Amino acid sequence: MTSEQQRLSAVALSGRVLGALFYHAPNHPDCASLLGMLSAPEWVKEWPVQAPELAEIASMMAAGLADSDTSVGEEYQRLFIGPYALPAPPWGSVYLDKENVLFGDSMLELRQWMRAQGFAPQTEQNEPEDHFGLMLMLAAWLADQGQQPQLDELLAWHLLPWADRYLNLFTENAANDFYRGLGLLARMTLSGWQQGMLMPVARKELHF
């Protein structure tokens, strides 16, 4: 297996896992088996992006799953649904558009790019396509299809310019260690994804 094949395989696996955890509620069928896996530390050996802090992140996430004071279900509601203002909105246009709006210009650019590639994600509701979890799952799909140029375009232009800001806010505001660890895991993993990219990450002004 070449280094590029290894990279695509890593993106495909980690993107599916992280995308599901950022997009779906903990009680969603796609998350139940993942939470079971993440409750034990052995998964770190199989994680496709390795880093020294991975074991500590795994312990943090396991502790969060066992936390009875702030359950993962309650924390998902607070971080992703509301009813109050979300401390770290998971949509790219909140960060990239001056008005901090959903369905902003940056989201429309992403939608146009997706149409030009001939694909679109299947969302469960009428939601902007620039949701962080959806974009991770799209990256995983592109990697699984071996579409390296399109994967790099998605990452360099549409996701990575705002992902670090979002993950910093997400991690700082998470009250449950599972989601705090998830933010750290995503940031570490995206850093690994960047290795081997054929284009630099676009520099875009952030407004949130």
pLDDT per position as a tens digit, 119-166: 765 555 678 899 999 999 999 999 999 999 999 999 999 999 999 999
- pLDDT of 158-207, one tens digit each? 999 999 999 999 999 999 999 999 999 999 999 999 988 889 999 999 99
Q: Is 91 helix (H, G, I), strand (E, B) or coil?
A: strand
The dihedrals phi and psi of 91, each to the nearest 5 degrees, come to -110, 135
Question: Is the pLDDT confidence value at 44 over 60?
Answer: yes
**121 contacts 137 by C-beta, under 8 angstroms:** yes
Q: How confident is the model at residue 84 (pLDDT cuts 50, 70, 90)?
A: confident
- Mean pLDDT over 61-85 rounds to 90
The whole model's pTM is what?
A: 0.94
- pLDDT of 14-34, one tens digit each? 999 999 999 999 999 989 889
The Cβ of residue 103 has, within 10 Å, a number of other Cβ atoms equal to 16
Q: Domain 3-194: give its CATH code.
A: 1.10.3480.10
**14 contacts 38 by C-beta, under 8 angstroms:** no
What pLDDT score was predicted for residue 124?
54
Eight-class DSSP state of 2: -
Q: List the chain domain ranges.
A: 3-194
Question: Is the pLDDT confidence value at 63 over 70?
Answer: yes
The Cα-based distances of 33 to 23, 39, 73, 96, 197 in angstroms read 15, 10, 15, 34, 31
What pLDDT score was predicted for residue 89?
97
